[in-house]
Amino acid sequence: MKHLFCDVCKKEVIEPIPSRTFFQLREYDLCESCRDDLEAAVKYTVRDKKPFDFAWFDKLRIELVQDGVKKNKINVAKVSR
């Protein structure tokens, strides 16, 4: 049995199944709730970004995850970048 812990909230993921109960983003493992928080945080910023750029999008997601690792949660409030 594999033990996996979310890199953001530090909670154990019970019976981890890739792309279902945990998600990998570069070197980070995210539980389902942290991934939902990340998607919600990105959603507000992506709506206003024109023209859309995938390099910018990846950088934003990684910055949000790195900040979440430091604070043990992903801030879902509107991010202005």
Cα gap 38→41, rounded to integer Å:
5
Check whether 81 has a pLDDT greater than 90.
no
Give the residue carrying structure tokens 């604070």.
71
Q: For residue 1, what are the contacts with CB-CB under 8 A and spacing of at least 6? A: 15
Domain boundaries along the sequence of the chain: 4-71
For the full predicted model, state whether its pTM sits above 0.85. Answer: no
- At residue 80, the pLDDT reads 53
Give the residue carrying structure tokens 């750029």.
53
pLDDT tens for 61-77 read 999 999 999 999 998 87
Q: In the structure encoding, which two tokens stand for residue 50, read together? A: 């024109």
pLDDT tens for 19-51 read 888 999 999 999 999 999 999 999 878 887 888
pLDDT, average across residues 3-9: 93
- At residue 3, the pLDDT reads 81
In 3-state terms, what secondary structure has residue 32?
Answer: helix
